[in-house]
Structure 1
Protein backbone atom coordinates (compact mmCIF):
# COMPACT_ATOMS: atom_id res chain seq x y z
CA UNK A 1 0.00 0.00 0.00
CA UNK A 2 0.86 3.65 0.20
CA UNK A 3 3.55 4.48 2.69
CA UNK A 4 6.40 6.75 3.68
CA UNK A 5 9.91 5.30 3.78
CA UNK A 6 12.87 6.86 5.51
CA UNK A 7 16.37 5.52 4.89
CA UNK A 8 18.36 4.69 6.88
CA UNK A 9 16.07 3.76 9.76
CA UNK A 10 18.95 3.70 12.24
CA UNK A 11 22.02 5.81 11.62
CA UNK A 12 25.26 5.90 13.56
CA UNK A 13 27.81 8.48 12.55
CA UNK A 14 31.01 9.94 13.97
CA UNK A 15 31.31 13.37 15.57
CA UNK A 16 31.95 16.18 13.06
CA UNK A 17 30.60 14.05 10.19
CA UNK A 18 27.31 14.71 8.38
CA UNK A 19 24.21 12.52 8.75
CA UNK A 20 22.10 12.23 5.58
CA UNK A 21 18.52 10.93 5.71
CA UNK A 22 16.25 10.32 2.74
CA UNK A 23 12.47 10.25 2.73
CA UNK A 24 10.22 8.98 -0.04
CA UNK A 25 6.60 7.96 -0.40
CA UNK A 26 4.23 6.17 -2.73
CA UNK A 27 1.20 8.33 -1.96
CA UNK A 28 1.25 10.23 -5.26
CA UNK A 29 2.33 13.66 -6.44
CA UNK A 30 -0.45 15.38 -4.48
CA UNK A 31 1.57 14.68 -1.32
CA UNK A 32 4.18 17.32 -2.10
CA UNK A 33 4.54 18.86 1.37
CA UNK A 34 7.35 17.47 3.50
CA UNK A 35 8.11 18.09 7.15
CA UNK A 36 11.19 17.11 9.15
CA UNK A 37 11.01 16.87 12.94
CA UNK A 38 13.58 16.30 15.66
CA UNK A 39 13.01 14.74 19.06
CA UNK A 40 15.91 14.89 21.50
CA UNK A 41 15.98 12.62 24.57
CA UNK A 42 13.56 13.84 27.23
CA UNK A 43 12.03 16.47 24.93
CA UNK A 44 8.97 16.75 22.74
CA UNK A 45 9.04 16.59 18.96
CA UNK A 46 9.91 19.90 17.24
CA UNK A 47 9.47 20.81 13.59
CA UNK A 48 12.85 21.62 12.07
CA UNK A 49 11.77 22.49 8.54
CA UNK A 50 8.78 22.54 6.22
CA UNK A 51 9.15 22.42 2.45
CA UNK A 52 7.39 21.46 -0.73
CA UNK A 53 8.51 20.80 -4.26
CA UNK A 54 7.39 24.31 -5.27
CA UNK A 55 8.44 26.58 -2.38
CA UNK A 56 11.47 27.62 -0.38
CA UNK A 57 12.00 25.76 2.90
CA UNK A 58 10.80 27.36 6.12
CA UNK A 59 13.13 26.65 9.05
CA UNK A 60 11.39 28.65 11.77
CA UNK A 61 13.82 28.67 14.72
CA UNK A 62 16.30 26.25 13.13
CA UNK A 63 19.30 26.90 10.87
CA UNK A 64 19.47 26.04 7.18
CA UNK A 65 23.26 25.75 7.55
CA UNK A 66 22.87 23.00 10.19
CA UNK A 67 19.94 21.19 8.51
CA UNK A 68 20.10 21.57 4.71
CA UNK A 69 17.39 19.82 2.71
CA UNK A 70 16.84 18.88 -0.92
CA UNK A 71 13.32 18.53 -2.32
CA UNK A 72 13.10 18.65 -6.11
CA UNK A 73 10.12 16.33 -6.62
CA UNK A 74 6.91 15.57 -4.73
CA UNK A 75 7.72 11.93 -3.95
CA UNK A 76 11.08 12.34 -2.17
CA UNK A 77 13.49 14.59 -0.33
CA UNK A 78 16.61 14.50 1.84
CA UNK A 79 17.61 16.04 5.16
CA UNK A 80 21.13 16.43 6.53
CA UNK A 81 22.41 17.13 10.03
CA UNK A 82 25.76 18.84 9.43
CA UNK A 83 28.85 18.50 11.63
CA UNK A 84 27.36 16.17 14.22
CA UNK A 85 27.75 16.95 17.90
CA UNK A 86 26.72 14.90 20.92
CA UNK A 87 23.65 17.12 21.30
CA UNK A 88 22.34 16.06 17.90
CA UNK A 89 21.66 12.50 19.06
CA UNK A 90 17.93 11.81 18.91
CA UNK A 91 15.07 10.76 16.67
CA UNK A 92 14.42 12.46 13.35
CA UNK A 93 11.04 12.13 11.65
CA UNK A 94 9.91 12.71 8.11
CA UNK A 95 6.25 13.42 7.37
CA UNK A 96 4.38 14.16 4.16
CA UNK A 97 0.97 15.64 3.56
CA UNK A 98 -1.31 16.80 0.80
CA UNK A 99 -1.83 20.45 0.09
CA UNK A 100 -3.82 22.25 2.73
CA UNK A 101 -6.95 24.38 2.39
CA UNK A 102 -5.12 27.09 4.31
CA UNK A 103 -1.97 29.09 3.66
CA UNK A 104 -0.76 28.21 7.17
CA UNK A 105 1.84 25.45 6.71
CA UNK A 106 1.61 24.63 10.44
CA UNK A 107 -2.08 23.74 10.16
CA UNK A 108 -2.63 20.99 7.59
CA UNK A 109 -6.11 19.79 6.80
CA UNK A 110 -4.69 16.32 6.15
CA UNK A 111 -2.91 14.28 8.81
CA UNK A 112 0.83 13.97 8.09
CA UNK A 113 2.19 10.46 7.57
CA UNK A 114 5.37 9.88 9.62
CA UNK A 115 8.52 7.79 9.44
CA UNK A 116 11.56 8.12 11.72
CA UNK A 117 15.33 7.84 11.91
CA UNK A 118 17.44 7.56 15.04
CA UNK A 119 20.98 8.95 15.08
Structure 2
Protein backbone atom coordinates (compact mmCIF):
# COMPACT_ATOMS: atom_id res chain seq x y z
CA UNK A 1 0.00 0.00 0.00
CA UNK A 2 1.36 3.42 -0.95
CA UNK A 3 2.01 5.90 1.80
CA UNK A 4 2.23 9.65 1.66
CA UNK A 5 5.66 10.96 2.54
CA UNK A 6 5.73 14.41 4.08
CA UNK A 7 8.77 16.46 3.22
CA UNK A 8 8.78 19.82 4.92
CA UNK A 9 11.06 22.16 3.07
CA UNK A 10 12.34 25.40 4.53
CA UNK A 11 14.72 27.83 2.87
CA UNK A 12 17.04 29.84 5.11
CA UNK A 13 18.95 33.05 4.60
CA UNK A 14 19.71 36.22 6.53
CA UNK A 15 16.70 38.07 5.17
CA UNK A 16 13.46 37.80 3.22
CA UNK A 17 15.17 37.53 -0.16
CA UNK A 18 15.01 33.72 -0.50
CA UNK A 19 12.05 32.01 -2.16
CA UNK A 20 10.85 28.57 -1.17
CA UNK A 21 8.16 25.95 -1.30
CA UNK A 22 7.17 25.59 2.36
CA UNK A 23 5.49 22.15 2.33
CA UNK A 24 5.70 19.18 0.02
CA UNK A 25 3.81 15.87 0.08
CA UNK A 26 4.71 12.98 -2.23
CA UNK A 27 3.58 9.38 -2.58
CA UNK A 28 6.09 6.78 -1.44
CA UNK A 29 8.43 5.88 -4.29
CA UNK A 30 8.02 9.21 -6.06
CA UNK A 31 10.63 11.96 -6.19
CA UNK A 32 10.39 15.12 -4.12
CA UNK A 33 11.92 18.11 -5.90
CA UNK A 34 12.75 21.22 -3.87
CA UNK A 35 13.86 24.51 -5.35
CA UNK A 36 15.70 27.38 -3.75
CA UNK A 37 16.27 30.83 -5.20
CA UNK A 38 17.40 34.17 -3.87
CA UNK A 39 17.59 37.80 -4.94
CA UNK A 40 20.98 38.51 -3.42
CA UNK A 41 23.80 39.37 -5.79
CA UNK A 42 25.81 36.80 -7.73
CA UNK A 43 28.52 36.59 -5.05
CA UNK A 44 26.03 34.41 -3.10
CA UNK A 45 26.61 31.41 -5.35
CA UNK A 46 27.28 28.85 -2.62
CA UNK A 47 24.26 26.77 -1.64
CA UNK A 48 23.97 24.27 1.19
CA UNK A 49 21.24 21.64 1.57
CA UNK A 50 20.48 20.20 5.01
CA UNK A 51 18.23 17.43 6.30
CA UNK A 52 16.72 17.20 9.78
CA UNK A 53 14.84 14.01 10.53
CA UNK A 54 12.45 13.82 13.52
CA UNK A 55 14.36 13.65 16.80
CA UNK A 56 17.75 14.12 15.10
CA UNK A 57 20.20 16.96 14.60
CA UNK A 58 20.44 18.78 11.30
CA UNK A 59 22.89 17.19 8.83
CA UNK A 60 24.50 18.70 5.76
CA UNK A 61 23.56 16.72 2.66
CA UNK A 62 25.49 18.57 -0.02
CA UNK A 63 27.40 21.78 -0.71
CA UNK A 64 26.86 23.14 -4.22
CA UNK A 65 28.30 25.87 -6.38
CA UNK A 66 27.86 26.70 -10.05
CA UNK A 67 30.89 24.56 -10.88
CA UNK A 68 30.39 20.83 -10.16
CA UNK A 69 31.18 18.38 -8.79
CA UNK A 70 29.06 19.05 -5.72
CA UNK A 71 30.43 17.97 -2.35
CA UNK A 72 28.28 15.31 -0.66
CA UNK A 73 28.67 14.51 2.99
CA UNK A 74 29.17 10.95 4.25
CA UNK A 75 25.90 9.01 4.30
CA UNK A 76 24.39 10.94 1.38
CA UNK A 77 24.86 10.17 -2.31
CA UNK A 78 24.04 11.91 -5.55
CA UNK A 79 21.77 9.09 -6.78
CA UNK A 80 19.39 9.47 -3.82
CA UNK A 81 19.84 13.26 -3.42
CA UNK A 82 20.71 14.77 -6.82
CA UNK A 83 21.42 18.49 -6.58
CA UNK A 84 21.53 21.06 -9.38
CA UNK A 85 23.00 24.55 -9.39
CA UNK A 86 22.87 26.14 -12.84
CA UNK A 87 23.39 29.76 -11.79
CA UNK A 88 24.26 31.85 -8.74
CA UNK A 89 20.69 32.51 -7.66
CA UNK A 90 18.92 29.18 -8.10
CA UNK A 91 19.38 25.57 -7.11
CA UNK A 92 17.43 22.42 -6.45
CA UNK A 93 17.57 19.21 -4.47
CA UNK A 94 15.62 16.04 -5.24
CA UNK A 95 14.90 13.13 -2.93
CA UNK A 96 14.58 10.13 -5.25
CA UNK A 97 12.48 7.06 -4.43
CA UNK A 98 11.03 8.68 -1.32
CA UNK A 99 10.40 6.52 1.72
CA UNK A 100 8.65 7.31 5.01
CA UNK A 101 12.06 7.54 6.69
CA UNK A 102 12.91 10.46 4.37
CA UNK A 103 10.17 12.56 6.00
CA UNK A 104 11.64 15.55 7.76
CA UNK A 105 12.83 19.11 7.36
CA UNK A 106 15.00 20.04 4.40
CA UNK A 107 16.80 23.37 4.54
CA UNK A 108 18.46 25.47 1.88
CA UNK A 109 21.00 28.10 2.87
CA UNK A 110 23.02 30.46 0.69
CA UNK A 111 26.42 31.92 1.41
CA UNK A 112 28.55 34.65 -0.05
CA UNK A 113 31.88 33.74 -1.60
CA UNK A 114 34.82 35.46 0.00
CA UNK A 115 38.44 35.57 -1.04
CA UNK A 116 39.42 37.18 2.25
CA UNK A 117 42.24 35.47 4.10
CA UNK A 118 41.56 34.24 7.65
TM-score, normalised on structure 2?
0.81
The corresponding residue for 2:83 is 69
Shift of 1:102: 7.3
Unaligned segments of structure 2, at least 5 residues? 1-14
RMSD: 1.9
Q: Is the 8 A contact 1:2 1:26 kept in 2?
A: no
CA distance in 1, matches of 2:106, 2:32: 11
Shift of 1:54: 2.2
Larger Rg: 2
Which consecutive segments of 4 or more residues in structure 1 shift more than 6 A?
A: none
CA distance in 1, matches of 2:105, 2:37: 17
| Matching of residues 1-119 of structure 1 within 5 Å | 3-6=17-20, 8-61=21-74, 62-101=76-115
